[in-house]
Structure 1
Amino acid sequence: MLTVPKWQPGMKSDVLPSVYRDILEVVADAPGPVRAKQIVPRIGLPAETGKIKGTRSKLKRLVERGWLDEDTPGLFTVARRRAGVSPDSR
């Protein structure tokens, strides 16, 4: 079983492990795209290189599984299809 399941229509964040839910919540609450180093302190971790790299890895996993988008390298947003925007309207 995947720790982070692939997003499907109707799926809610409660299927994610808590740290991934926390990350998703920070990204969703941000006024625009965010970087890993901005997320780390907001999820209660020290702003250390290792924690930033680990968070970036989790962000990339959320992108791979359809929960987030990364249109610009290192900048993450909620996936358009989750936000109700068609991928064709990019």
Structure 2
Amino acid sequence: MGVEVLASEYRRIMEIVADADGSVMAKDVARALGRELTPGKVEPVREQLRKLADQGRLTRTGAGRYLPR
């Protein structure tokens, strides 16, 4: 299934990861989404990244970094 089946924020996260020059961390994605870089704003993004990796849509590398599949 393509990204069109994902909720809009998940699609945006996929775009951010795909457009990045290399791997990204949750705080990088949170910043690109316009969120504050506080734990309460970054942790939900980290969970969304994990879900996308668990679905096989992203690759999780060491140290909590993510790459497009």
TM-score (norm 1): 0.72
* Residue identity (%): 36
Paired positions, count: 69
1:3 maps to what in 2?
A: none
Write out per-residue CA displacement over residues 39-77 of structure 1, whole angstroms, 9 at most, x where no aligned residue. 101112221111111100000000000100012130000
Name whichever structure is richer in helix by fraction.
2
Structure 1 distance, partners of 2:63, 2:47, is 13
2:28 maps to what in 1?
A: 38
TM-superposed CA distance for 1:13, in Å, is 1.1
2:65 corresponds to 1:75: yes
Q: Runs of 5+ in structure 2 lacking a partner? A: none
Residues 1-90 of structure 1 mapped to structure 2, 5 A cutoff: 11-79=1-69
Larger Rg: 1
Q: Secondary structure at the match of 2:61?
A: strand
Q: Runs of 5+ in structure 1 lacking a partner? A: 1-10, 80-90
CA RMSD of aligned residues (A): 0.9
TM-score (norm 2): 0.92
